[in-house]
Amino acid sequence: MMGQTFYYRVGEHALAVCFADKENDDALIPSFAPFRLDEKPDDLLFTLTVDDHLEWPESGEEIGQFDCGGCNHGVYRLADGGYYYSIEDVQGVLCSRMRSNADFSACQVSLFGTTWAQRNYGLNNALMMAYAFSAACLGTMLMHASVIRCDGWGYLMTAPSGTGKSTHTRLWYDNIPGCDLMNDDNPIVRIIDGQAFVYGSPWSGKTPCYRNIKAPVGAIVRIQQRPENTIRRYRTVEAFCNLLPAMSNMKWDKRVYNGVCDGISELIRLVGMYELGCLPNAEAAILCHDTVARKSHV
């Protein structure tokens, strides 16, 4: 018996998730609930079909590794120009396999996890990659950052995992009036008609912050742990070099890589990027806010 198809709009891009049978359903991806649509849209970015009965090769020629929050997923090129992914969790458990056509507009995934958490991880990560790589040429970037909204503007805090992004956005929330958290790990950044916007997303790391909201980007800040609080604005080349590793990307795919690089260049042109050397204290948040904050957009 055939399953169901569910439609979502994430970062103003529409997508479809088709469950080929009733072994799986949208209960596997509860973080997508705020983004669900009641009707089929006419502008689908991609369709992902979930079918646990697909046939998969045992192995192939690996062309790269996609870093997903400390878990590296194997990437293999298919003869038709598409891709095949082997998605493992942090314990090395094979949670899913995904294949796509060349532009990621059509994807298929099988779930191999034996627990709900493993199956959720396998499907959620497949959707994240399908989204990032299908939208790369549309001025859309999935960015590793924590985002605080203040007076209507979104401020993106980026740094390697464990450096203190979430701590810093929490310090804004606790010490600066008019703040709320938009996303704590993987917001979406889009360039639309010459303006940069940030969106909440279904992917937010360990913090369950799945909000279907949007704000103009106020600034981007790279967090560095330092013995004192200092802040400076990056030059253009510095900003590019520090933003590129923060974006979901595939350097071996020219279409995706060029799309992300073009998006970063435009983002830098439109929005300032800063380096904040800081301690985990209120003074760091106040210094950062007072340096980068824009006038109320509410």
Q: What is the mean pLDDT of residues 42-60?
A: 89
- Of 107, 104, 80, nearest to 96 by C-alpha is 107
What's the token pair of residue 221? 């800040």
Domains, the chain, ordered by start: 5-134 (no CATH), 140-292 (3.40.50)
pLDDT of residue 281: 94
pLDDT of residue 205: 85
The residues facing 279 across adjacent strands are none
* DSSP-derived secondary structure for 77-97: E-TTS-EEEEEE-TT--EEEE
For residue 240, what are the CA distances in angstroms to 157, 191, 250, 272?
15, 16, 16, 11
Helix count and strand count (H, E) for the chain: 5, 17
Confidence of residue 150 (pLDDT cuts 50, 70, 90): very high
85-130 per-position pLDDT tens digit: 999 998 889 999 999 999 999 999 999 999 999 999 999 999 999 9
Look over the chain and give the mean of its residue pLDDT values, rounded to a whole number: 92
Task: Centre a 10 Å sphere on the Cβ of residue 248 and count the other Cβ atoms it contains.
Answer: 23
Confidence of residue 69 (pLDDT cuts 50, 70, 90): low
14-40 per-position pLDDT tens digit: 999 999 988 899 999 999 999 999 999
pLDDT of residue 292: 95
pLDDT of residue 59: 61
Q: What is the CA radius of gyration of the chain?
A: 19
pLDDT over 90 (residue 152): yes
Give the amino acid at 60. G
The helix (run of H) or strand (run of E) holding residue 142 is strand 140-142
**Cα–Cα distance, 86 to 84 (Å, whole number):** 7
pLDDT of residue 22: 81
Buried b / exposed e along 262-271 (16+ C-beta atoms within 10 A): ebbeebbeeb
What's the token pair of residue 178? 């008019």
**Cα–Cα distance, 161 to 278 (Å, whole number):** 16
pLDDT of residue 1: 41
Global pTM?
Answer: 0.93
**Cα–Cα distance, 209 to 183 (Å, whole number):** 5
Q: What is the mean pLDDT of residues 274-280?
A: 94
First to last CA, the chain: 49
Q: What is the mean pLDDT of residues 249-264?
A: 93
Q: Are 136 and 256 in contact (CB under 8 A)?
A: yes
**Cα–Cα distance, 176 to 199 (Å, whole number):** 21
pLDDT over 70 (residue 185): yes
pLDDT over 80 (residue 265): yes
Kindly give the pairing relationship between strand 71-77 and strand 146-150.
Answer: unpaired
**Cα–Cα distance, 148 to 288 (Å, whole number):** 12
